[in-house]
Structure 1
Amino acid sequence: MIVTRRQSLLAHAFLLAIVLVWGATFSVVQNALRDCSPLLFNTLRMTLACIALAVVHLRHLRNLSRSAIRAGAVAGLFLALGYALQTTGLQTTTAPRCAFLTGLVVVLVPLFCIVPKLRPPGAPRPGIVPLFGAAGAFAGIVLLTTPANLPLSEFTHGLHLGDLLSFLCAIAFAAHLLSLSHLARQIPASQLATLQIGFAALFLALAMPLVETPRIDISGYLIFAMLLCALVGTAAAFYVQTWAQQYLQASHTALLLALEPAFALLTALLFFGERLTLRSGLGAALILISLIASELLSSQPVSEQPEANAA
């Protein structure tokens, strides 16, 4: 099908709304992890989200093809790997280093798209503008996620296993984004979203005994956070992302996802008493400027894409 300007704008708008949701729930998840270990929390949220999507899309799941199941397994594997590697990496490195390395996903996606076999069908080869936009967004992420008084030695004094795992996490999330860019044009969004979350829950459950000692303390706040993250931050969010990536270039999606820490900061400022610093403000502004500049200067023509089976 031909991707129209209207479809492209809608995809940008809906994905931006999802990034806002992810950023807004960051502080919610952070507080919920006081009552639940990270991998168990993610396994439970994925399981609940899969159940919710399966109920809503029951009629679309009755005749699953082998290609749909295979696509869901691939996307779910990369998604689970990203969460598992990030959680494991945080046990042997610092949060700033983990955030710094995980943020490389915004740079890795356009770099991977230079390779023809990794580039989604019909997508143009990334030019200099998307690469500069990715670099600017990554610089903004660094300003947002690293404290001003953090010594340089924190990043230069040796490498830890957690650093390697955090970098592998960025590769896994980049692979997940690229896999959706390939698969979302072939598999109905209702099927792909449900299957990838279901497989992610399965893979996370299998990895849990190897990564952490599960811990949970049931509380009202934990239940609230779990339902919010499962139904809105996972089920609805990944369905919308899967649908939107039919119409977006992978490099544009990566730039939009770079806004998540900026939205997390905004939420913390409005609802959790966080104070805005010059450093964090500059970081958020740099991400936004890089995104807008990349979108305006790329000026890629709307291209013809294979027929999508959106449901």
Structure 2
Amino acid sequence: MKKENSIPVRNSLLLLLTATIWGVAFVAQSVSMDYIGGFTFNAVRNLIGALTLLPVIKVLDKTHSEAEKKRESSASGRKTLLIGGICCGIMLCLASNFQQFGIKYTTVGKAGFITACYIIIVPIIGIFLKKKCSPFIWIAVLLSLCGLYLLCLTPGEGLAVGKGELLLIICAVLFSGHILVIDHFSPLVDGVKMSCIQFLVCGILSGVPALLFEHPNLSGILAAWLPILYAGVMSSGVAYTLQIVGQKNMNPTVASLILSLESCISVLAGWIILGQHLSSREIFGCVLMFGAIILAQLPQKESAVL
């Protein structure tokens, strides 16, 4: 029983680490745009992410049991892994590129708030997929939305829907789909291998418009080597893999709540690393979000006891 109870806690910590890496990655993402285009950035970072996981896969393969190796090497196992990786890669490519270009046409605050609205889109889509949510989780979703509003939007700033906002709304829907696709495939396949395929697909798909419209050059990529390396190794290779592993056997709505902390952590990172002070409004927004995450865990703990 203790081992079963520890699984949601372990997964929650993995997703919290994911959100932390993504939150800090906003700095890398912003800096890189001074040197290269959005498609180029996403193409290079995801290809680096795929390469990063190759030695990890080789090491982890040695730890798998004979039963796991037999299941993974079967025709059906390979097919499920390939389909899952391709589906995740397509969703990630669409979502990340809509986000990248949406940020160009609106404020960072609005971008953070609208993107993180997947926390309410996921349970709404889940209703149609017959995924039930307890009242505690719905309250946690509303608390998180209030926290994100206080954290990301300045007083008097409206939410008029312009070009940037429309792109980010589409991005939020696509990230919701990405979370639900991972929820479906992660219990069926090796998470690290699926993550590697995901990055390869996303990198190739992003590379096509990069070559057609942005004409990337080596000097620009080398000039942005540090943010690209962080985004490729940490944000892509490490964080998205942690997301796949952490979401395994977890309620997708709870997972989306924890992952939405990336907006909160990005503000905290700016405060700690760059010396950007938080207002009382922003601090209260952080408190609401952290409170929502704690509240979202309560139903799982109760169900485990039962």
The reply to whether TM is greater than 0.5 is yes
Change over 3 Å in CA distance of 1:300–1:172 after alignment to 2: farther
The total of aligned residue pairs comes to 290
Query: How far apart are residue 57 of structure 1 and its match?
Result: 1.6
Structure 2 gaps, min length 5: 62-68
Say which structure is richer in helix: 2
Deviation at 1:100, TM superposition (A): 2.7
The residue aligned with 2:189 is 187
Q: How does 1:1-311 map to 2 (within 5 A)?
A: 4-58=4-58, 65-116=78-129, 119=131, 125-150=132-157, 152=158, 155-156=159-160, 159-208=161-210, 214=216, 217-218=220-221, 222-296=224-298, 299-302=301-304
User: SS in structure 1 opposite 2:154?
Assistant: coil
Identity of aligned residues (%): 20
1:122 paired residue number: none
Per-residue CA distance 1:132-152 (angstroms, 9 max, x = gap)? 2112112211222112353x3
- Which amino acid in the other structure matches residue 271 of structure 1? I
Q: Deviations over 1:108-133 (max 9, x none)?
A: 1111111235x4xxxxx112221121
Cα contact 2:37–2:210 (8 A) shared by 1: no
| Aligned counterparts of 2:302 and 2:95: Cα–Cα separation in 1 | 30
Structure 1 Cα separation of the partners of residues 259 and 222 of structure 2: 31
The one-letter code of the counterpart of 1:110 is P
1:43 to 1:298, Cα distance in 2 relative to 1, 3 A: same
Greater Cα offset, 280-289 or 34-43: 34-43
Write the letter of the residue equivalent to 1:131.
W
The CA deviation at 1:34 is 2.0
Q: Any gaps of 5 or more consecutive residues in structure 1?
A: 120-124, 304-311
Deviation digits for residues 226-283 of structure 1 (CA, Å, limit 9, x no counterpart): 2222112211112221111113110111110111111111211111121111121111
Which deviates more, 136-145 or 199-208?
A: 199-208
Give 1:45 deviation, angstroms.
Answer: 0.8
Q: CA deviation at 1:218?
A: 4.8
Distance in 2, Cα, partners of 1:252 & 1:175: 15
Cα distance change, pair 297–7 in 1 and its aligned pair in 2 (3 A): closer
- Structure 2 residue identity aligned to 1:301: S
1:143-168 CA-to-partner distances (Å, cap 9, x unmatched) read 22112353x3xx24xx3333222111
**TM-score, normalization by structure 1:** 0.84
My pick for the range that moved more, 137-146 or 249-258, is 137-146
Name the CA distance, whole Å, in 1 between partners of 2:285 and 2:214: 33
Can you list the C-alpha shifts for 1:68-122, whole angstroms capped at 9, x where unaligned?
11111101111111111112323444443333321210111111111235x4xxx
Q: What's the C-alpha RMSD, in Å, of the aligned pairs?
A: 2.6
Determine the C-alpha separation between the residues in 1 that align with 2:221 and 2:40. Answer: 13
Closer, same or farther: CA 89–233 of 1 in aligned 2, 3 Å: closer
* Counterparts of 1:48 and 1:109, CA distance in 2: 29
Describe the shift of the 1:258–1:204 C-alpha distance in structure 2 as closer, same or farther (beyond 3 A). same
Show the counterpart of 1:306. Answer: none
Query: CA separation in 2, counterparts of 1:138 and 1:286?
Result: 9
